[in-house]
Amino acid sequence: MTLVAPNPRPLAEIRELFESIPGVEQASLEDDRFWLLCRPDAEVRQVRDEVDRILSAEGRPLDAARVEVLVRADGRDRQRVCFVDVKRSELPDMHVRVHVTLEWHGEQFTADATGEKGSVIELRTAAVAALNAIERVSDRRVEVRLGGVKQVRAFDAELMVVSLYRPGPDFQKYLGVALVGSEPLRAAALAVLHALNRVLGNYLVTR
């Protein structure tokens, strides 16, 4: 008998949790079956263990056998920087510090940002911390600035939308979206990754 949580997350949010597993590049959902695409160096057993942990914690009526773990063949295909964690700590004078940790090729990179206390302002702080962490991953200054962060409701889901832009003569705009779930700061960091992961992945595998 499978126990079901009183308010289980939608499958789309479970997919987002799967994509946060170290080594997983992409998770897709087709006919209630998940397909996890992993990097060539991913530890499949560890990925499976984390899948079991997530499903157990969520109490989903979804057999782990319906989660297919695929390992991408080695090569110079575009890869993705993975989100690991976000942490918030309170500081004196009504300020907070947000730490964001990312993972690339088995190595973790953490950076932080400080801002005033308050739900809306803290979303911007989390997004800036994600940009700072991306700079750590790429080992260079990211010439991208934060335009705005906004939580919106669309298609019966709460979404976090982040707007980024590259100033100067070659002006370019980037938009990222992530499901909010119960962790808005996490969603803000994920939306930044969603906006930049394609160009960032191309840069990292060719540098």
Please state whether beta strands 67-71 and 82-91 pair in parallel, antiparallel, or not at all (unpaired): unpaired
Tell me which of 71, 96, 122 is where a domain ends: 71
The reply to whether 88 and 65 lie within a common domain is: no
What's the pTM value of the predicted model, to 2 decimals? 0.61
Domain annotation covers residue 177? yes
pLDDT at 62 over 70: no
Q: What are the residues facing 24 on neighbouring strands?
A: 38
In a shared domain, residues 172 and 126: yes
Q: Give per-residue pLDDT as tens, 33-42.
A: 788 888 777 7
Task: Tell me whether residue 2 is in a domain.
Answer: no
- Number of structural domains (the chain) is 2
Give the H/E segment covering residue 148: strand 145-154
Assign residue 45 the CATH number of its domain: 3.30.70.1350
Alpha-carbon separation of residue 155 from 2, 109, 122, 152, 187 (angstroms): 29, 34, 25, 10, 17
Per residue in 101-131, pLDDT (tens digit) is: 998 877 898 999 999 999 889 999 999 999 9
Residue at which a domain ends, from 48, 71, 94: 71
Specify the CATH number for the domain of residue 184: 3.30.160.270
- Answer yes or no: is 5 within a domain: no
Amino acid at residue number 190:
L
The pLDDT tens digits for 148-174 are 999 988 777 788 999 988 887 878 888
Are 117 and 178 part of one and the same domain?
yes
Q: Provide the pLDDT for residue 51.
A: 86
Structural domain span for residue 52 = 11-71
